[in-house]
Amino acid sequence: MHPAYLCYNSRHSCQSQNLQEVRVERILITFIETQRAVLAEGVRLLETYFTNQSVLLDDLRALSGSLTYSSETGSDESVKDRPEAALKIAASLRAAVETLDEETAQGVLRILARAEQAVAADIRARIARKLNGIYVIVDPEATRGRPVSEVARQSLEGGATVVQLRDKLNDKGDILKSARELKAMCDEYDALFVMNDHADLARASDAHVLHVGQSDLPVTDARDILAPHQLIGNSNNGLPEALVSAQQPVDYLAVGAIYATTTMGKSGRSALGPEEIARVKDAVVQPIVAIGGINKSNIADVVKAGADSVCVVSAITFADDPAAATQDLVQLYEDASS
């Protein structure tokens, strides 16, 4: 082959390669600029949410000032007073951070992590306000052979505001199926769904709440598994345990057994009495759920002692008509609360 032809081909190949590199570089620059604009606008929107948290707001403003952007991509009203929207923005900005240098990125990620934690705490506090009224536990061992879904729906029809699934019999696949069914059911009634024991199943079913006992997965480890907006409640056998639990990232404290009971593995516990509810209520800031042996004859004393929510098992799940039994307890709760 003629040397001149080889030389021409070589020059042509080099020119094509250079043009390709220029195109790639321009695409990368455009991508980085776009991501920085997204990051800057997202941070600006987060500022509108954190108007009452001065330290975090100052950090976000400083971060916003260090970034540049050419146009707004969202409305302030889409975030203000809407913690779910703010949480989504904070999470979505993590991808944009990858375009920054490592030192800057680490600083941004720390601020975003604090923002996510603060927003998630607001969401959990709002959900926790639903922790009132009748809280029923459905367990395949305590439904008189009826499906847990049937008993759960009847209790919701009767006015229960919280339903917990407790299942020590079935494998996780079956429990998850039940959990998803009950979560959807609770959403229909604007009630809270609680998954007992299993943090992984609570996460997979998007349960509103995970409930753990003193000997279950530690609360801090459960918090790492759950989504930021999911609540954690735990069991406490009186004031000493409740004081320790209150220092952990729990959103409510269950206290009991208030009265003698043979269900939920509490038959060996001494009855604490409603006075213990009053002592715990005075000592902690979290909502209090009373549990253990509570029925129509004693629910008023428990509510008057300060329980925010009253957990009931056999008085509802063993009843011939769970809906009617729940309705009676709801009325007694409301009468005692007024």
Per domain, the residue ranges of the chain are: 3-125, 129-337
Residue 212: per-residue pLDDT? 98
Per-residue pLDDT at 51 = 54
* Long-range contacts from 178-186, C-beta under 8 angstroms, 24+ separation: 178/148, 178/149, 179/204, 179/205, 179/207, 180/205, 181/149, 182/138, 182/148, 182/149, 182/152, 183/207, 183/208, 185/149, 185/152, 185/153, 185/156, 186/156
Is the separation of the CB atoms in 60 and 45 below 8 Å? no
Residues 235/211, Cβ–Cβ less than 8 Å: yes
CA distance 112 to 266: 43
Q: Give the integer Cα–Cα distance in Å for 205 and 146.
A: 22
3-state secondary structure of 112: helix
pLDDT attached to residue 152: 99
| Residue 116, pLDDT score | 76
CB 286 within 8 A of CB 246: yes
- Residues in the chain predicted with pLDDT less than 50, given as ranges, are 2, 4-8, 21-22, 24-25, 27-32, 54-55, 68-77
Burial 32-49 (b: 16+ CB within 10 A, else e): eeebbbbbbbbbbbbbbb
Please report, in angstroms and rounded to a whole number, the separation of the first and last CA atoms in the chain: 101
CB 127 within 8 A of CB 231: yes
CA 328/CA 294 separation, integer angstroms: 13
DSSP category for residue 132:
-
- pLDDT value for 27: 44
Rounded Cα gap, residues 167 and 178, in angstroms: 10
Nearest to residue 105, comparing CAs of 92, 94, 120? 94
pLDDT of residue 30: 47
Q: Which two tokens stand for residue 32?
A: 């980085």
For the segment(s) 129-337, the CATH number from 3.40.50.80, 3.10.20.740, 3.20.20.70, 3.65.10.10 is: 3.20.20.70
